[in-house]
Structure 1
Amino acid sequence: MRDSDHSSETTGALRRSLGLYAVLTISIGAMIGSGIFVLPGLAFSIAGPSVILAFFLAGFVVLPAALSQSEMATAMPEAGGTYLYIDRAMGPLMGTIAGFGVWFSLVFKAAFALVGLSAYLEFFVEHPERPIAAALAVLLIIVNLMGVHQTAKFQTALVSTVLVLLAGFIIFGTPSTDPERFQPFLSEGVNGLLSATAVVFVSYIGVTKVASLAEEIKRPGRTIPLGILTSVGIAMLLYPAVVAVMVGVTPASELAQTETPVLTAAAHFLGTSGTYVVAGAAVLALLSMANAGVIASARYPLAMARNSLAPPFLARIGHKSGVPVAGISVTGVLLILLVLFVPLIELAKLASAFQLLVFVLVNIALIAFRESHLDWYQPKFRSPLYPLPQAFGIAAALLLLTQMGIVPLVGALTIVLAGVVWYRAFGQSRAVKESAARDALRLRENARLVQNSANAVASGGRRHVLVLFRRPTRPARQQTLFRMAMRLTAAPGGRIHVINFDARTQRMVPTATDLARAEELGIAVTTQQYTDEDRRGMVHLFVEQEGVDLFIADLPQDLRATRHITRDLRWLRENLICDSVYLRNRAVDEIDRIAVLGTGGPYDPVKIEMADHIARYETASIRFVHLTPEDAPPAFAESIRAYHEQLG
């Protein structure tokens, strides 16, 4: 057997080799591609000149998710990005869906970029489009398998060149723009503007890819938020400026029909040589975007495997290269298949629709982490103005989803269902099922119930208690019910009313001793004898008319002769507007110890109130007991201990 120290692959940590500029170029390179080189023409046909504003608004919708992702990445600087945060915030099922969706959307977009790249290469030389795109995919896979340090250098050179060329496009194109081409600005109305914003949203998908590389970034607490937010700001300025030049120099009919809007616009002010330069920039940009897609998407299988939501072999990291070899290989196979066989324009739209849903989950995940108050959640960067940006991001993303059309929504739902099926079939039995959202809800619910319990205990008892003697039974049993009522009634000032259907004990219960004790406590006692056949209806009417706030009754053994009584009591429990207490068929005299049992969740405040009043009356002790499964996660047991401390 080979010693693990000399193995070519390991499942250890990734190397931290990426600085701020590398992070910026990876993030910008993931965005600048098909969004600016292919989509403006299509978006112009939808919105007219307001497509310029559509590109800015799309970035504005992305900004809350960028803030949320930046914060979570500094608290969890590990590979996995969006998948990791949603998994830890909302549990493994939602994490699996997010991991599947983001991975597919990134690979789809990378494949779309490669096909677009192949189309731009047609400007230089004719070639078979799909085979060349597949060959480029193979090349990118090899580059990534060599290691992220080499890949980062490659990415830096690509993005730097593209940014310089796009800056030249803006500088030389702006003087040639015709102001009349921008009028009327909202030619297709607000609906056209929103629809175009949804279409161009895909242009910003790559901004949060860098979070999936958090484990490989130097000084992640500073570098990640600075890199993500700076790249968003650059894109929000760059996109509208480039599109404004396209709109300003290109006739509307021509721009609306072209799939290469940059080339079409450049031909109007740069001439032949300039067009070649722009075509080269487009090739570099699309290559950069495809490469960034491979870099980021390959980390999602790695993160899912680490959380037992994917086969363990996907967690393998090359010993020499320090990259997720298996993740890159699986991603590469899917990328090649998509490039060769799938119409990628529609898949790019599907990726955009699902990414909107993922950004909704990202913002919800941040809220879950903030509200859960987890000890280990200590981000070095915090989203400003929380939770306003997150609420806006959720609402805006859902609004844009309504503008996407039926097909993208159906496709996104299909990916969601695929994630659910995968989780049920593979990950459910292996995954850790705790989440920050569940912790947050548990903490809030525990705090609310503790406060309700405190308020109930402070009330001093119930003001009006109704005791029902429903059936003939031993006087000792009926005395137990009445004495229980005294323990639970506010003293002084409370009232106990006894309804007795048992003529035999009419003058026996309550006893003279019990009446004297009630008078001593300041509790008023009244009794009534009934023979009405509609016993449950009469009790129900009395409770509503007299304002009873606690109903006490005897619960008989489950025998054939008593089942009609049990049915009546069950009906009263479900229909009475007050709390109910039912005592099993046994006599109770003195009480010195009380146990309050729970089976996982917080106790019902009524239970705690009853136990407290009985304990005060009898000078008894109370013990809170929770029965939890042997395989309960540590976080669950810790929350139970914290809850018991709050009760104390």
Structure 2
Amino acid sequence: MAKGLERDLGLYAVFTISVGAMIGSGIFVLPGLAFEIAGPAVILAFVVAGLIVLPAALSKAEMATAMPESGGTYLYIDRAMGPLMGTVAGVGVWFSLVFKSAFALAGLGAYLTLIADVPGKTFALVIAAVLIGLNLYGAKITGRAQQVFVTSVLAVLAYFVVRGSFSIESGNLEPFFDKGLSGLITASAVVFVAYAGVTKIASVAEEVKNPGRNIPLGMLLSIGVMLLLYPAMVYVVVGTTPPELLAASTTPVADSATGFLGSLGVDVISVTAIVALTGMANAGILAASRYPFAMSRNSLAPQPLQHIGRRGTPTVAILATGGLLLLLIAFVPIIDLAKLASAFKLAVFTFINLALISFRQSKLDWYQPAFRSPLYPWVQIFGIVGCLVLLTQMGWVPLAGAVGITTFGVLWYRGFGKSRAIKDSALLDALRIRSTGRLVAMTQEAISTGGHAHVLIPVLRSTRRSRMEDLIRFGTMFAQPRAVVEIIEFEQDRSGRGRHPAGIDHRFEERTTELASRMGAEVFVRRIQSKDPEETLLEYVEDFGVDLVVSDLPRESRGTRRFIHEMKDVRDHLPCDSIFLRNRTVGQVRTVVIMGSGGPYDVLKISLAARIAAAEGSQLRFVHVLPEAARVQQADSIESYHHRLEELVTADTVSAVSRAPDLIDEIAEVAGDADLIVMGAPAHRVRLFGDLADRIADRLDAPVMMVHTNQQPRLAWYEKALERIIY
């Protein structure tokens, strides 16, 4: 049994971890850079950025109370939009958190030089090693350390704001919109990263006591405090620092303190900055290490990353995160990487808001958050639009970096995680619910029509008597009363003439008519010769309005391989429904297995199976096999779909939904005793290991009816793409 993480973090720890993840380079370094972009309006830029972060904070708070597990952003996006998007988010957020932590530690150097003659990089590496050790020791000690960091920093910054407010030079604030609206928006994008840490606490939700209360309350308290503190801090910094000094400063808070707190005040501010940046790095390591841990749990990262040590911490994930952190501090210009990571955070916050919408719209039974975001979905829409607007203001280099991280995430998923991942999500569930609702309505209509109006049984090769009986049996069974049922022998004419009626083959006609008569069926028998029988068959179906073709496919051998390939090509180009019988002769049909659920062939499969059951008194068995790692909720969703289908038919029905490591073995186990198996036959593709439907049919001994239709509703390109993802 997997070992769980300990729930040691209370409300104040949640608040301080969230605040600690925000207080750092965002306030101690960025005001100078942002002032150069927006002028005094940088004060308002911090307000705008905070308001755009708020929807993602509300969304994450809600999702964290529904899923109080480690993983945060990765977990929510993965379950909402599937493993590909979850992998992209997990890899991207992990990198961005490590980048930001490394940037915070590297930023210690600028403030450290104000109070001591110490090599900044060496000091940053030492602090990083200490923080890695704290995180290995446990979240409880980490949370306590964070409370000390944050409490002391907030006290100093509050004193800074109060004292500084009496020293404001009004001239420094004019003209307020010196760089115009574009400068304000660009500065908002730059300082956005200052608030990005507010949602980090969700990544350690599994370690929070009473998460339904403490997570949303702690997050909202922290962002509320920072929405007041940041603008107040920047107001004091701008109002007390000469513009020419502030625009070039990497230590803006210390420069501001020089004017009203003196040298002692500068030392206190510098120490506070070091403590705050250390706290930011600590929170970043704590949160970042949980992303590879959670991804490993979902088979999207190597298994050792989910190892939990004796003190209840994910030791391997922490060591991997710490190792990357040390490398970045030692060798990479962190400020550039931090700017690149901030662009990805805007994209991720967009995904967070989309994830909440996916969960709400899916109406999943298990999604029961203790806290719900107010003003849904308008808050989330505002957050999405706001993030996208700011993202466009980041410049081409950060955008290229975000694209690069995204590409890496996609390649990682394709190369490592795709074969192992659980391909399920709330979005797919919502799409399945919508799609299956449409399928149920279409199936009901198909059953009520009573059959097909023009059935064609083509004969293109020598067909044994028992198989011909099967074809006539089902051809007439699926036809409406007074429908046209034709049996046409298509022969190749090597004389070079086009399509033409051939002379009557009395032996074929007599044998076929005798079979039909003995079965009580009325059929028309014809013979057509042409240079290309397969092409002639397609033309005949088109010209005479055939709506169902009933044929057979022999087992593959050297002698039948070419014929099978040609018939599959015909099937894929038929403008009507078609069925192809495989395997042994069909006897008495007591049990019909309908294989697979929710796909585009359901309407035809179920309507044909219902007619068989009505004619022969058969039981219908709905069978669906899921991957072994599929969630219980997905199986429940399919069971619910089966129950809706059962209401449409008069036959006795059974639903069998199972999970297994090997799809074909499980199908052979649960469907092997059936008298007839009905399954969809997707369009033929050239594949290395053959079509899945063919491999299933080859494994089964029971008769198989493979159905295909090209009469599906017209779908837009994006709807077709979604259908491929869903099914």
2:253 to 262, 265, 276: 262
More deviation in 75-84 or 382-391?
382-391
Structure 2 regions of 5+ residues with no counterpart? 491-501, 647-727
SS of residue paired to 1:127: coil
Contact (CA 8 Å) 2:469, 2:515: kept in 1 or not? Answer: no
CA pair 294-624 structure 1, distance change in 2 beyond 3 A? same
Residue 16 (structure 1) aligned to one of 1, 7, 30: 7
Kindly provide the CA deviation profile for residues 190-217 of structure 1, in whole angstroms up to 9, marking residues without a partner as x. Answer: 3x44433332221122111111232332
Match of 2:372 among 382, 386, 396: 382
Where do 1:390-405 residues align within 5 Å?
Answer: 390-405=380-395
Which of 560, 575, 580 aligns to 1:577? It is 575
The aligned amino acid for 1:644 is: H
Matched, 1:294 2:295: no
Q: Which residue of 1 aligns with 2:340?
A: 350
Once residues 631 and 567 of structure 1 are traced to their aligned partners in structure 2, the CA distance between those partners, rounded to angstroms, is 33
Aligned-residue sequence identity (percent) comes to 50
State the distance in 2 between where 1:137 and 1:127 align.
16
SS of corresponding position for 1:111: helix
Aligned to 2:206: 215
Distance 1:515 1:394, change over 3 A: farther
Partner of 1:522: none
- Work out whether 1:593 is the aligned partner of 2:584: no
Among candidates 169, 184, 187, match of residue 179 of structure 2:
187
For structure 1, which segment, 430-439 or 361-370, has the greater mean C-alpha deviation from structure 2 after superposition? 430-439
Secondary structure, aligned partner of 2:153: helix
Residues 1:21 and 1:541: Cα distance change in structure 2 (over 3 Å): same
Q: Distance in 1 between matches of 2:558 and 2:275?
A: 84
What secondary structure is seen at the aligned counterpart in 2 of 1:74?
helix
| DSSP-derived class of the 1:317 partner | coil
Structure having the higher helix fraction is 1
Per-residue CA deviations over 1:76-133 (Å, capped at 9, x if unaligned) read 2233323333444455565454444333322221221122223112222332221122
Equivalences, count: 628
1:134 shift after superposition: 2.2
Separation (CA, whole Å) in 2 of partners of 1:559 and 1:23: 67
Q: Counterpart amino acid of 1:487?
A: M
- Structure having greater relative contact order (Cα 8 Å, sep ≥ 6): 1
What is the match of residue 606 of structure 1? 604
SS of residue in 1 equivalent to 2:620: strand
Matched residues in 2 for 1:231 and 1:625: separation? 52
Per-residue CA deviation, residues 215-271 of structure 1 (Å, 9 max, x unaligned), is: 332221111011112222332333233334444454544433222222344445655
Q: Is the partner of 1:378 in helix, strand or coil? A: coil
Q: Does 2:108 correspond to 1:117?
A: yes
Using the TM superposition, name which of 301-310 and 215-224 deviates more: 301-310
How far off its partner does 1:64 sit?
2.8
Structure 2: distance between partners of 1:39 and 1:111: 16
Q: How far off is 1:44 after superposition?
A: 2.8
Match of 1:626 in 2: 623
How far residue 160 of structure 1 moved from its aligned partner, in angstroms, is 3.0
CA distance in 2, matches of 1:583, 1:234: 70
- Aligned-partner residue type, residue 604 of structure 2: V
> How far 1:306 sits from its partner (Å)?
5.0
Matched, 1:127 2:128: no
Match of 2:650 in 1: none
- Does residue 341 (structure 1) correspond to residue 363 (structure 2)? The answer is no
Change (3 A) 1:141 1:11: farther
Following superposition, the deviation at residue 42 of structure 1 comes to 1.7
1:468-500 superposed Cα distances (whole Å, 9 cap, x missing partner): 4556878997776555343223336x5556666
2:220 to 207, 214, 229: 229
Cα contact 1:306–1:315 (8 A) shared by 2: no
Contact 1:470 1:553 (8 Å CA) reproduced? no
**Native 8 Å contact 1:596 1:608 kept in 2:** no
46-55 vs 532-541, greater mean Cα deviation: 532-541
Give the 3 Å change call, closer, same or farther, for CA 247–19 of structure 1 in structure 2.
Answer: same
- How many angstroms does 1:30 deviate by? 0.9
SS in 2 for 1:490: strand
CA distance in 1, matches of 2:553, 2:133: 75
Q: Secondary structure at the match of 2:579?
A: strand
Pair 242,470 (structure 1): closer, same or farther in 2 beyond 3 Å: same
Contact 2:172 2:238 in 1 (8 A): no
- The 5 Å alignment of 1:522-537 reads 530=528, 533=531
> In 1, Cα distance between the equivalents of 2:303 and 2:564?
54
1:541 to 1:177, Cα distance in 2 relative to 1, 3 A: farther
Map of 1:362 onto structure 2:
352
The alignment status of 1:178 with 2:170, answered yes or no, reads: yes
| Structure 2 match to 1:6 | none
Distance in 2, matches of 1:44 and 1:198, equals: 13
- Tell me the equivalent position of 2:234: 243
Contact 1:591 1:620 in 2 (8 A): no
Per the alignment, residue 60 of structure 2 pairs with: 69
Greater shift after overlay, 357-366 or 475-484? Answer: 475-484
In structure 2, how many angstroms separate the alpha carbons of the residues matched to 1:406 and 1:528? 69
> Which residue identity does 1:185 align to in structure 2?
F
Contact 1:318–1:325 under 8 Å retained in 2: no
Counterpart of 1:595 in 2: which secondary structure? strand
Alpha-carbon distance in 1 for matches of 2:140, 2:559: 82
Contact 2:108–2:120 (8 Å) recurs in 1: no
Q: Which amino acid aligns with 1:76?
A: M
Normalised to the residue count of structure 1, the TM-score between the two structures is 0.81
- Bigger mean CA offset, 510-519 vs 142-151: 510-519
- Matched letter for residue 550 of structure 1: L
1:57 to 21, 42, 48: 48
CA contact (8 A) 1:350 1:412 kept: yes
Q: CA RMSD in A?
A: 4.2
For residues 587-610 of structure 1, what are the alpha-carbon distances to aligned partners after superposition, in whole Å with 9 as ceiling and x for unaligned? 87x854352442686453212112
